[in-house]
Structure 1
Amino acid sequence: MHSPINAFELNERLMTAVQTGNFHGVLDCLMEGARATIVSTSCGRTAVGTAALVGDAEILELLIQSCEEPDLDIFNRNHSNSFEMETECTPDGMDNLEW
């Protein structure tokens, strides 16, 4: 059994994925909780800045979206693939009404 990855290691993995143009690696890191605006101690830049610097528009767009909408299902590894039916509740006292 291995120990859980810490935030520092996760954000460094994110930077490596950005620097190598690994879109799926970037997405995996974001899903695990990496933050695109954390300054890396190894290079002094953020993942967003690095993506802009290397000119990877697809990764840059993904990183910006993760900042603007962090609660999207795509950034949550724990989201369910099953569809749950939403049921409406009848207000109290309304069950016995007839039309």
Structure 2
Amino acid sequence: MTTRDELRLLPWVGSDGKPCYLSADDRGGYVSRLADHIEAFQLGVASQLLEHALRVLDDDMEDAEELHLLAAQLASALRDVLRVATSRGRRPVTPGHPKGD
């Protein structure tokens, strides 16, 4: 849990690839709400990608190129989900705030 004056890890990186942070004091601000929506979107994409991956892995006819693309997409989704988990693990869940399902 974070105190109200700690920084929130945002679900995106800067142009230089470094993490972006936001003061946790303003949970209702524009950037905080945008981050909440992006986190929810990233979790939704990861869930859909997992369903797709399970279908692909059940199909013995998939070629190496398809599997390579799937692995790259899964790695990207996993990176996003881990960032969301890290961010949410460091700040309190409050009513009306998206929860990681």
TM over 0.5: no
Structure 1 or 2: larger strand share?
Answer: 2
TM-score, normalised with respect to structure 2? 0.26
* Structure number with higher helix proportion: 2
Rg larger in 1 or in 2? 1
